[in-house]
Amino acid sequence: MPPTPHDWSPRGWRVVEPVVGALVVAVLLGGLALAAASLDGVLAARGRSSGMAAGWSAPLAEAARLMRQRRRTIVAADVLLWRVGGAALLVLALLKAVVVPVGGRSVADLAVGVVWFNAMDVTVWAAVWLLGWGANSAHALVGGYRFLAQGLAYELPLMFALTAPAVAAGSLRLAEVEAAQQGGAWFVLWMPVAFAVFCLGVVAFSVWGPLSVPAGVDVAGGVLAELSGVDRLLVLAGRYALLAAGAAFAVPMFLGGADGPVLPGWAWFGLKVVLLLALLVALRRHLPVLRPDRFVEVGWLVLLPAVLLQVLVVSVVAVWRY
């Protein structure tokens, strides 16, 4: 029997708990995305030598402007696929975040949490490509195919980067990967290559900074070219949310999760997420944009061999331990 609105028995709570947990994660993810957008606004304002206050408020001002803006109408556009692609980025960011343990608990404590994150990452490919395809615009379509080319370069190295902590912990469950670092060395200390490749993957699937060529200005904004109004707001928010979800996932995978002295675990977790997210946001202002063909060369000739060597070292250590 489904629980009534006043049924707060343990059984009723077990049904409601995932929904409440997902809402809490959505609020936290939204707060991190807003903080990332504000920091990006401040860095942009500093580059223009304009006021810092304007930088902090820039995301809210831009959101208000886009919500008032009329949606653009394009001849023969596949509106359904176009809008599904735009809204999917936010949904996928949330689905990535629900497996992350916060304070020892996660909304979805999946036995295959690492694989789940990777699966959601691959689904981002479809979402970004739909943004390019659905608009019925040459610039947007070029942006969509650029993202696919970029995906071919980063996805395989990212997959092996995710494998390294799982091999060391002997589990694909994120809570057990975090627990394997408690009281010992954080994985980032002896898996620096895997951590760097993971961060690069986060930047890539967020279409951010040096890997933002699918939304490049040389193709009039690429996948963003025809977006306006609420549609554009959802995509921009989705990119920040993906950055935040990636930073949150990196903490239990490489940075010891809630491990740390003096402060409570949730405070350490939040501090690590904020610091890593700030670093990822700042990359946009400090690194040039990479062409897809150059990035493919780097991905297959440098990143993939390096991360495979990292996994080999981790595997040898894991066998030696057990």
Give the tens place of pLDDT for each residue, 286-310.
888 888 888 999 999 999 999 999 9
Say if residue 84's pLDDT is above 70: yes
Give the tens place of pLDDT for each residue, 65-80.
999 988 888 888 888 9
The predicted model gives 223-245 an average pLDDT of 93
Give the tens place of pLDDT for each residue, 240-275.
999 999 999 999 999 998 888 888 888 999 999 999
pLDDT at 1: 47
pLDDT at 303: 95
Query: What's the pTM value of the predicted model, to 2 decimals?
Result: 0.91
Give the number of C-alpha atoms closer than 13 A to the C-alpha of residue 50, restricted to the C-beta side: 12
pLDDT band at 16 (very low <50, low <70, confident <90, very high): confident
Greater confidence, 284 or 201? 201
Give the tens place of pLDDT for each residue, 109-153.
899 999 999 999 999 999 999 999 988 889 999 999 999 999 999
pLDDT at 196: 96
What average pLDDT is seen over the chain? 89
Q: Look at residues 31, 83, 24, 78 and name the one whose alpha carbon lies nearest to residue 233.
A: 83
Share of the chain above pLDDT 90, in %: 63
The predicted model gives 28-33 an average pLDDT of 94
pLDDT at 157: 95
HEC sequence for 201-237? HHHHHCCCHHHCHHHCHHHCCHHHCCCCHHHHHHHHH
Q: Helix crossing, 52-68 with 229-254: angle to 10°?
A: 130
Angle (CA) 211 212 216, round 5°: 135
